[in-house]
């Protein structure tokens, strides 16, 4: 009898553990806005998303799948108008696959560390001084151009295919192993020659048909290390079928 009770208790415990695993924890996005005004978030994904906007209001919607063509990304969005500046903590349940901050130019801090399934992050033209994407290992596309970043580490984002980080204040850009990478725009920063050569060494070998491109000079304020590159340095990239440009 005791044995039967033990078995029943064990099964009940397994069921409870299984139920706990099914409880979906919300993703948490925190952003700090500099001024009062309108802020839009564009998101795609699967399942039903609930956004708690942090001001007593919330929205619910069935998410649409991430479009194959990024030009169609703008068709999938939440929008909300904030009356004041400050820190906004937004809770999102659902499998969020992409996030776009709508290029408002007034977001000073963005925390996406609790959005692990994120594949696309578009947060360009803001006022970010720090961007930590070390927990977002599923990222394939990252646009963080025209911010105030001084360093960027994407060494853990091994799924990246496109990285646009031009127009920042980067003195350090750290790559990892990116076998799928085909586009890297790091021009108009403050990268030195040593960092640029390190980037060339870490670029994956592509096929000519991939049309892989790296722009690492600049039109407004070129990376200081770009003018110091030798033909031998550049050949590190071109031998891997990358086009090296200065824009």
pLDDT at 232 over 70: yes
More confident residue, 81 or 178: 178
Exposed/middle/buried for residue 57 (C-beta within 10 Å: 0-12, 13-18, 19+): exposed
pLDDT at 20 over 50: no
| 88-134: pLDDT as tens digits | 787 777 777 788 777 677 889 999 998 888 888 989 999 999 999 99
The residues, ordered by sequence, that sit 6+ positions from 129 with a Cβ below 8 Å of its Cβ are 108, 109, 147, 148, 149, 150
State how far the Cα of 207 lies from the Cα of 241, in Å rounded to an integer. 6
Q: What is the DSSP string of 84-135?
A: S-EEEEEEEEEEEEEEE-TT-S-EEEEEEEE-TT--EEE--SS--S----TT
- Amino acid 196: pLDDT: 98
Percent of the chain whose predicted confidence (pLDDT) is above 70: 82
Read off φ and ψ for residue 216, nearest 5 degrees: -135, 15
- Amino acid 198: pLDDT: 98
- Amino acid 16: pLDDT: 37
Q: Which helix (H) or strand (E) holds 232?
A: helix 231-238
Across residues 226-247, what is the average pLDDT? 96
Across residues 64-76, what is the average pLDDT? 59
Lowest-confidence segment of 74-83, 101-110, 162-171 by average pLDDT: 74-83
Handedness of CA 70, 72, 75, 76 (dihedral sign): negative
pLDDT at 57 over 60: yes
pLDDT band with cut points at 50, 70 and 90 for residue 4? very low
More confident residue, 122 or 181: 181
State how far the Cα of 241 lies from the Cα of 185, in Å rounded to an integer. 16
Across residues 217-240, what is the average pLDDT? 95
Cα dist. 243→73, 136, 213 in Å?
A: 28, 28, 5
pLDDT at 25 over 70: no
State how far the Cα of 9 lies from the Cα of 20, in Å rounded to an integer. 17
Q: What is the DSSP letter of 10?
A: H
- Amino acid 103: pLDDT: 67
- Amino acid 14: pLDDT: 34
71 SS3 class: helix
Token representation of residue 5? 């009770």
- Nearest partner of 109 among 134, 88, 84, 137, judged by Cα: 88
Average pLDDT, the chain: 83
C-beta atoms surrounding 140 within 10 Å = 18
Where are the strands (E) in 116-222, listed by range?
120-122, 141-143, 151-153, 162-164, 172-174, 183-185, 212-215
Lowest-confidence segment of 15-24, 97-106, 146-155, 169-178 by average pLDDT: 15-24
Across residues 233-240, what is the average pLDDT? 98
- Give how far the C-alpha of residue 136 lies from the chain's centroid of Cα atoms, to the nearest Å: 7
138 SS3 class: coil
pLDDT band with cut points at 50, 70 and 90 for residue 83? low
Cα dist. 36→31, 77, 211 in Å?
A: 13, 21, 43
pLDDT band with cut points at 50, 70 and 90 for residue 53? confident
Across residues 13-33, what is the average pLDDT? 58
């Amino acid at each position: 009898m005791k044995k039967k009770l033990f078995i029943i208790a064990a099964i009940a415990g397994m069921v409870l553990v299984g139920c706990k695993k099914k409880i979906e924890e919300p993703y948490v996005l925190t952003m700090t806005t500099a001024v009062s005004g309108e802020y839009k978030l564009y998101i795609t994904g699967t399942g039903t998303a609930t956004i708690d906007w942090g001001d007593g209001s919330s929205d619910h919607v069935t998410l649409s799948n991430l479009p194959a063509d990024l030009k169609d990304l703008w068709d999938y969005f939440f929008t909300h108008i904030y009356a004041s500046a400050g820190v906004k903590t937004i809770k999102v349940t659902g499998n969020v696959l992409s996030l776009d901050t709508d290029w408002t130019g007034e977001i000073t801090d963005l925390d996406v560390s609790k959005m692990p399934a994120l594949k696309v992050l578009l947060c360009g033209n803001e006022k970010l001084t720090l961007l930590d994407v070390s927990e977002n290992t599923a990222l394939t596309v990252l646009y963080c151009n025209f911010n105030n970043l001084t360093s960027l580490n994407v060494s853990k984002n091994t799924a990246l295919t496109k990285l646009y980080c031009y127009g920042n204040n980067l003195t350090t850009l750290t790559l990892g192993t990116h076998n799928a990478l085909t586009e890297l725009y790091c021009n108009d920063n403050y990268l030195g020659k040593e960092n640029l050569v390190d980037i060339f060494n870490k670029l994956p070998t592509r096929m000519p048909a991939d049309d892989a491109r790296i722009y690492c000079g600049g039109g407004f304020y070129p990376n200081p290390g770009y003018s110091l590159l030798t033909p031998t340095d550049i050949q590190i990239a071109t031998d891997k079928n990358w086009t090296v440009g200065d824009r």
